Chain A
Amino acid sequence: MKSLEDLKKLRDQSLKNMQMRYQVGGTRIQVGMGTCGIAAGARPVLNKFVEEINEHELKNIVITQVGCMGECAFEPIVEIVDQDGTSSIYCKVTERMVNEIVEEHLVNHKRLDRYLLSSVKR
């Protein structure tokens, strides 16, 4: 017997699929919002990303908040996962760096190697 409950489930399912497809197709920005990230200044960094993305009228970008990534000393950490799945982990991110990251990485598609965790962490 079909019920409205099932209908709701189907609706939720299709919604979820839509969201996933959206995320797969776009760029994902993950900001570390653990205790370490927050204490190091992740909140203004995340808010700056929202502002800058609007300012540059960038589309198909999803900003998500994630927990501690295990590199607390390098917070705030921002991971950018590009459309093709390439991951870039930026560390010790400041509001000023957000400007640069948005302009270079997101607009010009040029990775800022000197800010990457792999470059900073020796």
Chain B
Amino acid sequence: MDDLSLFVLDIVQNSIAAQAADIGVVIREDSATDTLVLSVIDDGKGMDETTLRNAVDPFFTTKTTRKVGLGLPFLKMAAELADGSFRITSEPGIGTVVEASFHRSHVNTPPLGDMAESIYTICLHQDIKEFRYAHLCDGRHFRFSLGEIRTIMDGVPLTAPQIGAYLKSYITQHITTTRGE
């Protein structure tokens, strides 16, 4: 994985596979503490203790198409390589929280990447009811809600002409401003 936006897309696919209807992604950046924290919160089916313990083991997967599961181990490795930490908590029937923190100025901290494209790609999933993205940085913030977008779209699919391009540039613009770039 080259950047954080790809990690977000990947971890959210886990939430979707866990039949989550409401998924939240929060990125919290803070210059004072020089940290970047990525959280993915879902209301999916959750994991029991054994599955949770195995979740970061690359040779464990609930998939039947292959014998390895690299998504969470990749994120854990990326965080640890950037002097950060990784945490996953889950409760069956309630949901899962994945949190990876990074030492922001560390040379190994991945760049943010094209977060707008990841958000748009996630929004194309018809099965999710709500997807929220929040980006906080030094007191500034940007909030995005798929539900709100769908209300505005009033039944018109997000794949309709020009919608994708507009949404992506809207998100990119707001994230850039939030990050003070």
User: Which A residues lie at the B interface, using CB under 8 A?
Assistant: 19, 33-36, 38-39, 43-44, 46-47, 50-51, 53-54, 63-65, 67-70, 72
Contacts and interface: CB of A to CB of B under 8 A. Distances in A.
Given A43-B6, A69-B65, A34 B13 contact: yes
B1 interface: yes
Contacts, number: 61
Nearest to A67: B17
Contacts of A50: 124, 159, 164
Interface stretch (B47-55, B113-121, B172-180): B113-121
Interface stretch (B34-42, B66-74, B143-151): B66-74
Contacts of B159: 50, 53-54, 63
Residue of A34, A67, A70 ringed by the most chain B CB atoms within 10 A = A34
Contacts of B161: 54
Nearest to A61: B159
Interface in B1-25: 1, 6, 9-10, 13, 17
Nearest 5 CB-CB pairings of A with B? A70-B65, A35-B71, A54-B161, A35-B70, A38-B10
